[in-house]
Structure 1
Amino acid sequence: MPHTRRTDGVLLALAVVWGSSYLTAKTATDALPVLIVLFLRYAVGAVVCLVALGRSGPLTRDERRYGTLLGVTQAAVLVLETFGVAHTTAGNAGLIISLTLVLTPVLDRGRLPGRFFLAVGVCVAGVGLLVSGNGLRAPGAGDLLMLAAAVVRAGHVVLVGRVTAVRAVRPFPLTAVQTAVGAVLFLLPAAPGLPALARTGPVTWAELVYLALGCGLCAFLAQTWAVQRTSATRASLLLGTEPVWALLAGVCLGGERLTALAVLGAALIVTGTYWGQSVERAQRAPVAPGVPAPSPDHADTGVPQVR
């Protein structure tokens, strides 16, 4: 079992890293404008990717074409996420963005059983309570931006799945192109504020490097390694703890406070997300009578690439 424990440990560490990214992004945007944070998050990752890309061989036409398309959609996700987390709490951001896990099957499959939409309803109710504060109120601008980010990210995940299913593209070169496209897209908007980097302290630079490499490139490679060694169900359960870690990071490290309604909302979001995932998995891979179920080693490892 050491092999299983090692794989589970990597997936759980990945969920912790991604969960912590919301608080890191929030503190970084407190020190620097959002557009500069986005540019540097992409630029640092792009430099590392381009250096490492030399070992992967030349890019194919499909990798350039689809990497550019996915780079644009990924940039749209990060714009909404980063502006959103700048105007809400890290805990709220991590929990609301977890709706991607139940929105993705809706966009990808269309026809799903009624109990799946009941799970979505539980999540929506949870979001309403989470953003309510001490009493029911309309969600703030940051919460709405995170909701929009969840929808756009779900579309991005569907696009990634369809592109990689029908095209011979390699994960790392595809990621490298996406990262380079993001750096180019944010260079011009961020350019007027770049002189401010001369006054940026080492803590903020460390946060930017962590977002670019720890929560980006290294996390993607770790996920690819891990999901090849376990089942989709096991990987989804472990990665699905990301919003819990986002909430804990916000409360324990960011000094954020939770009301009783927010705690109930967080519980409903996590419950609804797990329920929706289980319904979708059962619908996606029914086992016909007399046909043995696939073993975990050969199960579908199509865990959504939501980062």
Structure 2
Amino acid sequence: MPTSRRTDGVLLAVAVVWGSSYLTAKAATEALPVLIVLFLRYALGALACLPALRGSRALTRDERTYGVLLGLTQAAVLVLETYGVAHTSAGNAGLIISLTLVLTPVLDRAVLPGRFFLAAGACVAGVGLLVSGHGLRAPGAGDLLMLAAAVVRAGHVVLLGRVTARRALRPFQLTAVQSVVGAVLFLVPAAPGLPQLARTGAATWAQLLYLALFCGLFAFLAQTWAVQRTSPTRAGLLLGTEPVWALLTGVALGGDRLTALSLLGAALIVGGTYWGQALERGQRAPAPTTARDAAPDDASTGLTQAR
């Protein structure tokens, strides 16, 4: 369906933007402390949202309540990922965070065929191949932080689907609240380092604006809009292509080498994602027995009900 393809396209765009955020964030954190980068990532997005929240676009009670809740879980994901990557190898981090693909349908309590978990397993194996060049080591504090990030990210996707189901929550307003929540949370810990911004160059500010407006505001808004039109499980699968885009960005702009194992890993992730998507779609919308029984839209049946 055209609507389904449009929704899938938006989710893939979010995955591309988030994939590119690793290289951007790496460059930004070389110039500024992590907490300042996280604060500005939210604060700049909040400033972009606030002028539009007037008159008929003012926040409703539900948008404030659920926006705060989602803002807390999204901020938790970013904190755990950032500090997890800082204390573990890239290989361990990429492999562990990919467990979101398996955890999302489990937390969503979706009824899925066994082959779905084979597809999710292919994605996990693909991430392992993507990062295999960096090697794996014994689990440590960073590995546990990445595992927590995978659990919280899966929970955030499921929560987003649950709270937006059958509620009049506008994506832009919900995203604005999440941005404000993140900015408030990181303001105090980032405050001691804010004077450093006076010496920050134009390139770093450009990186911060990209993280705030594209990797933050656009991605949160697009994710909210898309999850309202599909299931959390399907959204998790499409967003799970993020490591592929991170690899391609690194090769194109960061000078990373693309090995045969990396190519095989990317193929497994893309193939596993679309295989799992097809299985999930089939479970969500079983084929009608007659033309008269055909429903005009499968979005209200199957797994969407589990949201």
How far apart, in 2, do the equivalents of 1:251 and 1:106 lie? 34
Q: Is the 8 A contact 2:238 2:273 kept in 1?
A: no
Q: Deviations over 1:71-93 (max 9, x none)?
A: 10010111123334556798997
Alpha-carbon distance change, 293 to 170 in structure 1, aligned in 2, over 3 angstroms: same
- Give the corresponding residue for 1:115: 115
Alpha-carbon distance change, 276 to 15 in structure 1, aligned in 2, over 3 angstroms: same
Q: Is the 8 A contact 2:160 2:227 kept in 1?
A: no
How far apart, in 2, do the equivalents of 1:292 and 1:279 lie? 21
- The code of the aligned residue for 2:173 comes to P
- The code of the aligned residue for 2:189 comes to P
Q: Is the 8 A contact 1:131 1:139 kept in 2?
A: no
How much does 1:32 deviate? 1.3
Alpha-carbon distance change, 141 to 257 in structure 1, aligned in 2, over 3 angstroms: farther
How far apart, in 2, do the equivalents of 1:218 and 1:242 lie? 15
Alpha-carbon distance change, 149 to 136 in structure 1, aligned in 2, over 3 angstroms: closer
- Give the corresponding residue for 1:153: 153
RMSD: 4.1
- The code of the aligned residue for 1:112 comes to L
Alpha-carbon distance change, 123 to 60 in structure 1, aligned in 2, over 3 angstroms: same
- Give the corresponding residue for 2:61: 61
Tell me whether 171-180 or 74-83 shows the greater mean CA deviation: 74-83
Unaligned 5+ segments in structure 1 are none
How far apart, in 2, do the equivalents of 1:29 and 1:248 lie? 21
How far apart, in 2, do the equivalents of 1:219 and 1:148 lie? 22
How much does 1:11 deviate? 6.8
How far apart, in 2, do the equivalents of 1:46 and 1:118 lie? 40
How far apart, in 1, do the equivalents of 2:238 and 2:71 lie? 27
Q: Is the 8 A contact 2:94 2:131 kept in 1?
A: no
* 1:133 alignment partner, SS class: helix
- The code of the aligned residue for 1:174 comes to L
* 2:133 alignment partner, SS class: coil
- Give the corresponding residue for 2:50: 50
Unaligned 5+ segments in structure 2 are none
* 2:299 alignment partner, SS class: coil
Describe how 1:94-243 pairs up with structure 2 within 5 A. 97=97, 100-133=100-133, 137-138=137-138, 145-221=145-221, 242-243=242-243
Q: Is the 8 A contact 1:127 1:269 kept in 2?
A: yes
Q: Is the 8 A contact 1:108 1:158 kept in 2?
A: yes
Q: Is the 8 A contact 1:90 1:246 kept in 2?
A: no
- The code of the aligned residue for 1:21 comes to S
How far apart, in 2, do the equivalents of 1:136 and 1:178 lie? 35
Q: Is the 8 A contact 1:40 1:183 kept in 2?
A: yes
- Give the corresponding residue for 1:300: 299
Alpha-carbon distance change, 147 to 263 in structure 1, aligned in 2, over 3 angstroms: farther
- The code of the aligned residue for 2:268 comes to L
How much does 1:284 deviate? 2.0
How far apart, in 2, do the equivalents of 1:301 and 1:34 lie? 42
Describe how 1:278-297 pairs up with structure 2 within 5 A. 278-290=278-290, 292-294=293-295
Alpha-carbon distance change, 6 to 156 in structure 1, aligned in 2, over 3 angstroms: closer
- Give the corresponding residue for 1:250: 250
How much does 1:117 deviate? 1.6
How far apart, in 2, do the equivalents of 1:259 and 1:144 lie? 28
- The code of the aligned residue for 1:125 comes to A
Percent of aligned pairs with the same residue? 79
Q: Is the 8 A contact 2:49 2:176 kept in 1?
A: yes
- The code of the aligned residue for 2:68 comes to T
How far apart, in 2, do the equivalents of 1:31 and 1:63 lie? 35
How much does 1:217 deviate? 2.0
Q: Is the 8 A contact 2:160 2:224 kept in 1?
A: no
- The code of the aligned residue for 2:62 comes to D
Alpha-carbon distance change, 132 to 22 in structure 1, aligned in 2, over 3 angstroms: same
* 2:58 alignment partner, SS class: coil
How much does 1:239 deviate? 6.5
1:25 matched to 2:40? The reply is: no
How far apart, in 2, do the equivalents of 1:91 and 1:245 lie? 16
- The code of the aligned residue for 1:61 comes to R
Tell me whether 28-37 or 131-140 shows the greater mean CA deviation: 131-140
With the length of structure 1 as denominator, give the TM-score of the two structures.
0.78
Alpha-carbon distance change, 226 to 71 in structure 1, aligned in 2, over 3 angstroms: closer
- Give the corresponding residue for 1:276: 276
